[in-house]
């Protein structure tokens, strides 16, 4: 018998067995851990890291309710995004590095903090386009060396379809309205507003009605997210205490600025009750998000960096104990977010950028 002819059915049988085992492993969510060249030593909670963008400034990637897509903001000249605009990418089929994801904002003004609405057919995000269709000016480098963020007064919150068509305007108060996210229950939106004269947290119903103020202490309260069951909210805050800190905060706010270099994390119930400080680490602790079990928070922090330049991801229990470092980047990891099914985590990072300043999106399997 021809040797090749004899071996062919054996090979086909082996292939069939391997294929069947592979399918069974996938069905059981057993994912073989590859060499993972994008993972740094010590990153035991991350596996199968994949890079989704390759150049530019890409951040704040948030999942669709079906755990398939991410909506994110990007500044990239090749995409005609001269300042942050909103794009959607399918994490299962991200395409080639040269592909341009689908633009879902108008391309006018500056946008921030997009989030999928229930049903995955619309998104909400904040935009300055009604005030001015041009990109607003970026704050100039200060002579005192302070790092500041701009709080553009033209920001309002809108709902758009996935073709970039505005369907509804949710806010129209004078001043900053932005940083909106949606409860996993699909009934509430939490956002930051300057309508009281300070940067406070508010909730509204999914249609923009029934606005309620949650926080009232002096300081910037923002970047809020609901717990998986919608019962709690975690957010970042700068709470000035000393007379000097209060004077500086109010002075910056009058200029439409905040200094995000000293922030801690806070947790409260979804109605604003039982507010308490979660971290006491110093420096900048921000971009918090609940783990799928609702008992821990993952966030970005530079508290361990002597000069404050290095940001990594950490987890902490809701009672403030059990701080654990998750990523070990030498520059920047932030904006962690778990997929609604709890299997994956997205984050932004400077890793694998060939020494450039580009910040890219990454997705990994989460390992408990």
Q: What are the extents of the domains in the chain?
A: 1-30, 36-366
For the segment 173-187, what is each residue's pLDDT rounded down to a tens digit? 999 999 999 999 999
Please give the structure tokens belonging to residue 314.
Answer: 């950490």
pLDDT at residue 317 in the model: 98
pLDDT band at 36 (very low <50, low <70, confident <90, very high): confident
pLDDT band at 9 (very low <50, low <70, confident <90, very high): very low
Q: What is the pLDDT of residues 250-287, one digit of tens each?
A: 999 999 999 999 999 999 999 999 999 999 999 999 99
User: Would you state the pLDDT for residue 15?
Assistant: 36
Q: Which helix (H) or strand (E) holds 236?
A: strand 232-238
First to last CA, the chain: 53
Query: 36-366 maps to which CATH number?
Result: 2.120.10.30
Once rounded to an integer, what is the mean pLDDT over residues 334-348?
98
Contacting residues for 60 by C-beta, under 8 A, at least 6 apart: 72, 73, 112, 113, 114, 335, 348
Q: pTM value?
A: 0.89
* Mean pLDDT taken over the chain: 92
- 3-class DSSP state for residue 360? strand
User: What's the token pair of residue 73?
Assistant: 């903001």
Q: What is the mean pLDDT of residues 223-248?
A: 98
Does 5 score more than 60 pLDDT?
Answer: no
Mean pLDDT score, 114-129: 98
CA-based nearest residue to 252, from 139, 136, 100, 127: 139
50 vs 26, more confident: 50
**299-315 pLDDT, tens digit each:** 999 999 998 999 999 99
């Amino acid at each position: 018998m021809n040797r090749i002819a004899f071996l062919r059915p054996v090979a086909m049988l082996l292939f069939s067995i391997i294929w069947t085992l592979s399918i069974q492993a996938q069905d059981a969510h057993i994912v073989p851990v590859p060499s993972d060249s994008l993972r740094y030593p010590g990153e035991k909670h991350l596996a199968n890291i994949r890079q989704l963008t390759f150049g530019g400034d890409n951040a704040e990637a948030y999942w669709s309710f079906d755990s398939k897509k991410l909506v994110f903001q990007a500044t990239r000249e090749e995409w005609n995004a001269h300042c942050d605009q909103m794009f959607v990418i399918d994490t299962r089929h991200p395409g080639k590095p040269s592909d341009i994801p689908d633009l879902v904002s108008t391309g006018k003004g500056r946008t921030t903090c997009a989030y999928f609405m229930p049903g995955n057919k619309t998104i909400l995000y904040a935009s300055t386009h009604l005030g001015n269709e041009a990109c607003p000016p970026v704050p100039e480098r200060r002579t005192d060396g302070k790092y500041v963020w701009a709080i553009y007064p033209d920001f309002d919150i809108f709902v758009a379809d996935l073709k970039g068509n505005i369907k509804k305007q949710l806010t129209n108060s004078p001043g900053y309205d932005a940083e909106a996210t949606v409860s996993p229950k699909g009934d509430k939106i939490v956002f930051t507003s300057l309508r009281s004269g300070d940067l406070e947290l508010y909730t509204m119903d999914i249609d923009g009605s029934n606005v309620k103020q949650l926080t009232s202490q002096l300081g910037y309260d923002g970047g809020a997210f609901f717990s998986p069951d919608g019962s709690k909210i975690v957010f970042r805050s700068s709470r000035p205490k000393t007379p000097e800190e209060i004077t500086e905060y109010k002075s910056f706010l009058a200029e439409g600025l905040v200094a995000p270099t000293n922030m801690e994390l806070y947790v409260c119930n979804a109605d604003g009750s039982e507010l308490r400080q979660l971290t006491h680490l110093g420096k900048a602790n921000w971009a918090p998000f609940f783990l799928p079990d609702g008992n821990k928070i993952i966030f970005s922090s530079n508290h361990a960096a002597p000069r404050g330049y290095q940001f990594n991801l950490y987890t902490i229990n809701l009672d403030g104990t059990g701080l654990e470092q998750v990523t070990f980047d030498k520059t920047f990891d932030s904006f962690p977010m778990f997929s609604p099914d709890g299997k994956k985590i997205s984050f932004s990072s400077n890793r694998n950028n060939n020494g450039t300043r580009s910040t890219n999106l990454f997705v990994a399997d989460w390992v408990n």
